[in-house]
Amino acid sequence: MNKFESTNLRTRFDNTSEGWLLHIYSGDRRLLCVLDSSHAWTFLWGVFFGLLLAVGWGNLVSYSPSATYGPTTIPPEMWID
The pLDDT profile of the chain, 81 residues, written as one tens digit per residue, is: 566 665 555 555 555 555 688 899 999 999 999 988 888 889 999 999 999 999 998 887 776 666 676 676 776 677 776
**What is the 8-class DSSP label of residue 64?**
S
For residue 37, the enclosing domain spans 19-45
Whether 63 maps to a domain, the answer reads: no
Whether 60 maps to a domain, the answer reads: no
Whether 41 maps to a domain, the answer reads: yes
Q: How many domains does the chain have?
A: 1
The pLDDT value recorded for residue 81 is: 61
* CB-neighbour burial class of residue 36 (10 A; exposed 0-12, middle 13-18, buried 19+): middle
The pLDDT value recorded for residue 42 is: 92
The pLDDT value recorded for residue 35 is: 87
Whether 75 maps to a domain, the answer reads: no
Biggest CA pair distance of the chain: 99
Whether 69 maps to a domain, the answer reads: no
